[in-house]
Structure 1
Amino acid sequence: MSRPVVLKALWGAAVLVLVAGCSSGDSSGGSGERPGTAPPASVSASASASASASTSASGAASPGARVSVAGTLTEGLKSPWGLAQLPGGDLLVSSRDERTITRVDGRSGAKTPLGEVPGVVPDGEGGLMGLAVRDGWVYAYLTAASDNRIVRMRYGGGDGDRLGAPEPVLTGIPKGTVHNGGRIAFGPDGMLYAGTGETGVTGLAQDRASLGGKILRMTPEGRPAPGNPFPDSVVYTYGHRNVQGIAWDADGRLWAAEFGQNTWDELNLIEPGKNYGWPEAEGQAGREGFVDPVAQWPTSEASPSGIAYARGAIWMAALRGERLWRVPLSGTERSGDPEAFLSGEYGRLRTVLAGGDGRLWLVSSETDTRGTPEPGDDRILRLEVR
């Protein structure tokens, strides 16, 4: 599939003009995916590779890395958001706005609707979002009438099985029209992690009594996990604006992608108890008491959502940037500049998931009210990394 990149760019420019004419800024936090914020006049070295590194589906940004689209697993998805892999290799995908979960055959791409999740109230960037699977349970991060919350549902995984009734795992995560976070995943330690947003109320990010603007760590039942940095709390790190990507590298280190406001989007190495700066700092501020990101991008080139680890690098799906970023790692540091792949080929990219053996699953996000859908959107792509 090849998109009319020039036309999309012109359409994006028109949107920028319209937004500029309707809004005086983003002082309240605005849209977590910022269709109308302008890039800064200068960029950091961590983002400067984008102009020369962008490639087609069959190309790569450098001789040291290559990613190819092996095919489309399935298409015709509506507002897909969360993606989780079942033990047998099939996938579960959530629809943010339709409140449904669908099983996708990992070989044929055949779709089996599993039903609507009760209690989901889609609004703006909220709805049925992240998914995780463990021990016969499907976990979901969702927006309810009063809050964002994590629930779990029994699911046997066999033909004809249906989702059980949702049971609350963690409630009371602040909700808003924007900045709801929503990604969940089980770590190598068996604990459940969640990325949340500050809902546009920036002060929540620094308030350790709030669950907004945080990375949370809990037991599968929703209790504070052993070894958490703050007593009797599920809060693991704070000072975040809107975390939608979490993944672990080969050594078990946690990484997170975060939406910036007007200047920098971030990839952070996550350490328990640390303060990641928002709203006092955005990007590499070099201020005492705050952790600087390992990589940063102008907001026009990223708007990062899901991330995954494969072949020695973090892979980051970019919404507004409409590309897949690769960040090579060496321990806790970058081992080179980020590289961009698939620029403009598939539109907005929401979720990337490691499938093992160098395979990635990549989910587009053109039907989320902010894209320009084409026939077949949205889709799950098979990527091979070499």
Structure 2
Amino acid sequence: MQAQTVSMTHWSRIIPAVLLPLSLLAAVPAGAATKPALKVTVVAQGLQLPWDLAFLPDRSMLFTQRDRKTLSLRRTDGTIRRIFTAPNHMWSSGETGLMSVEVAADFARTRAFMTCHGYRKPGGRPEVRVVRWRLNRAATGASYVRTLVAGMPSSGGRHGGCALVKGSRNQLYIGTGDAATGRNPQSLGSRGGKVLRVDATTGKAVSTNPYVRSSNKTKRRIFTYGHRNVQGLARRADGSIWSVEHGSYRDDEVNRLVKKANYGWNPVRRRSGDPAYNEGANSPMTDHSIPGRQRSAAWRSGNPTVATSGAAFVGSSWRGWNGALAVTALKDESLRLLLFSTSGRLRETWKPAALDGRYGRLRGAVRGPDGALYLTTSNGSDDKILKVTATG
């Protein structure tokens, strides 16, 4: 495929081998951070709603297309081959389909990767599942290994999530949506509106999870709760996990995840005439009036929503923005870089003109093994995968 390159002057899922030293992350200039020049290259096109991508050790790229329910492999020479299309009972509707993909930490030995997708048997209720697969040696197909987590709620496909990112020691974090059901985010018996933490091989709860001693299998897997619709997860150099989620009509959020924390989404407050699922003014994204302590967002969009989606931390080639979180936006058709202190305090924001409306709706964000930022578009036709390189 012929690459199209645009030079501009006007973010990754962190791969463990390239985690930045914490000292670099803390090196934030006292004044405005120096902005690098950006080069944007189209590395794949003619797609439909590519949702997420992940890199293999040989630098080839797996990517999903949500509604087509396809997983494809882009090799380093630019050629693309289909790995699978709509395996048994994979389901798409509305905002749900074949969504996130993540390569297992032990891929070199097991050739395993994970996907998050809608699932429905004939006559059954729809749900969202995380499945572990094995890529064959020829990288021409994949076989089912096991379902890691089933039963994440879905109702017609709305607020289906879903995001995956590796943690340390074979951990897998799973961000979920609330399925537009009001009581899900605050219920510790529901897998909706949560970030789960499981073993990436077995799907069992991690031994240090906050509720690991619970008799309830769902509760044992919960890391954080009180989320609306988690669209992106990213791991920072210090090991912390950050989430990006859609707001209602306001207040998209970036959250620094802290074990057992409640992020305060509770859309069930009832006043005269309120519906059961209340997304109106009575339901702030972080509702501090409910019992307990709720954790406020590290960044929020305000009113109106910009529909934030993917998330990735960028590296040293981004100069003063080294360690910033790159966040894509669908409605706003833009990219934002958010520079946080080591304690999680917002220091500075940047909305690069090179990616402001030029490519339409931006969905996924992943840092590649070459240090570049890879983005997916979500326009519904002739969608693209973009490579964004900071050139100095």
| Fold in common (TM above 0.5) | yes
For 2:37 and 2:203, locate their aligned partners in 1 and report how far apart those are by CA, in whole Å. 37
Equivalent residue number for residue 10 of structure 1: none
Matches for 1:214-225 after TM superposition, within 5 Å? 214-220=194-200, 221-225=202-206
**Counterpart residue identity of residue 194, structure 1:** I
Deviation at 1:286, TM superposition (A): 6.2
SS in 2 for 1:93: strand
SS in 2 for 1:264: coil
Equivalent residue number for residue 302 of structure 1: 306
2:119 to 122, 136, 144: 144
The answer on whether the counterparts of 1:283 and 1:296 sit within 8 Å (CA) in structure 2 is no
For 2:341 and 2:56, locate their aligned partners in 1 and report how far apart those are by CA, in whole Å. 30
1:175 aligned onto 2:188 = no
For 2:93 and 2:199, locate their aligned partners in 1 and report how far apart those are by CA, in whole Å. 28
Equivalent residue number for residue 244 of structure 1: 231
1:326 aligned onto 2:329 = no
Deviation at 1:336, TM superposition (A): 2.3
Equivalent residue number for residue 4 of structure 1: none
The answer on whether the counterparts of 1:300 and 1:320 sit within 8 Å (CA) in structure 2 is no
Equivalent residue number for residue 386 of structure 2: 381
Equivalent residue number for residue 282 of structure 1: 284
For 1:104 and 1:322, locate their aligned partners in 2 and report how far apart those are by CA, in whole Å. 25
1:201 aligned onto 2:181 = yes
The answer on whether the counterparts of 2:48 and 2:383 sit within 8 Å (CA) in structure 1 is yes
**Counterpart residue identity of residue 181, structure 2:** V
SS in 2 for 1:202: coil
For 2:208 and 2:284, locate their aligned partners in 1 and report how far apart those are by CA, in whole Å. 28
For residues 136-163 of structure 1, give each alpha carbon's deviation from its aligned partner in whole angstroms, at most 9, with x where no partner exists.
Answer: 112110111131111111113x445311
The answer on whether the counterparts of 1:313 and 1:328 sit within 8 Å (CA) in structure 2 is yes
**Counterpart residue identity of residue 190, structure 1:** N
Equivalent residue number for residue 83 of structure 1: 53
The answer on whether the counterparts of 2:333 and 2:357 sit within 8 Å (CA) in structure 1 is yes
Equivalent residue number for residue 347 of structure 1: 360
1:211 aligned onto 2:191 = yes
Equivalent residue number for residue 242 of structure 2: 255
For residues 44-88 of structure 1, give each alpha carbon's deviation from its aligned partner in whole angstroms, at most 9, with x where no partner exists.
Answer: xxxxxxxxxxxx97133x761225134111111112112111111
1:271 aligned onto 2:258 = yes
Instruction: Kindly tell me the number of residue pairs found equivalent between the two proteins.
Output: 320
1:132 to 86, 102, 105: 102
TM-aligned CA distance change 1:117 to 1:154, over 3 Å: farther
For 1:248 and 1:282, locate their aligned partners in 2 and report how far apart those are by CA, in whole Å. 26
SS in 1 for 2:359: coil
For 1:365 and 1:269, locate their aligned partners in 2 and report how far apart those are by CA, in whole Å. 26
Deviation at 1:335, TM superposition (A): 4.6
The answer on whether the counterparts of 1:94 and 1:128 sit within 8 Å (CA) in structure 2 is yes
2:143 to 161, 164, 178: 164
For residues 293-315 of structure 1, give each alpha carbon's deviation from its aligned partner in whole angstroms, at most 9, with x where no partner exists.
Answer: 01110364521111001121000
**Counterpart residue identity of residue 121, structure 1:** W
For 1:230 and 1:184, locate their aligned partners in 2 and report how far apart those are by CA, in whole Å. 20
Equivalent residue number for residue 74 of structure 1: 44
The answer on whether the counterparts of 1:260 and 1:282 sit within 8 Å (CA) in structure 2 is no
For 1:336 and 1:81, locate their aligned partners in 2 and report how far apart those are by CA, in whole Å. 29
Unaligned runs of 5+ in 2: 1-5, 11-31, 121-125, 215-219, 268-282, 315-321
Structure 2 length normalisation: TM-score?
A: 0.77
SS in 2 for 1:328: strand
SS in 2 for 1:227: coil
Percent identity of equivalent pairs:
30
Structure 1 length normalisation: TM-score?
A: 0.78
The answer on whether the counterparts of 2:174 and 2:196 sit within 8 Å (CA) in structure 1 is yes
The answer on whether the counterparts of 1:202 and 1:278 sit within 8 Å (CA) in structure 2 is no
The answer on whether the counterparts of 1:91 and 1:103 sit within 8 Å (CA) in structure 2 is yes
For 1:335 and 1:302, locate their aligned partners in 2 and report how far apart those are by CA, in whole Å. 18
Deviation at 1:285, TM superposition (A): 6.2
**Counterpart residue identity of residue 153, structure 1:** W
Deviation at 1:121, TM superposition (A): 1.1
For residues 99-138 of structure 1, give each alpha carbon's deviation from its aligned partner in whole angstroms, at most 9, with x where no partner exists.
Answer: 1100012x33211111214121111011111101112112
Matches for 1:361-376 after TM superposition, within 5 Å? 361-367=374-380, 373=381
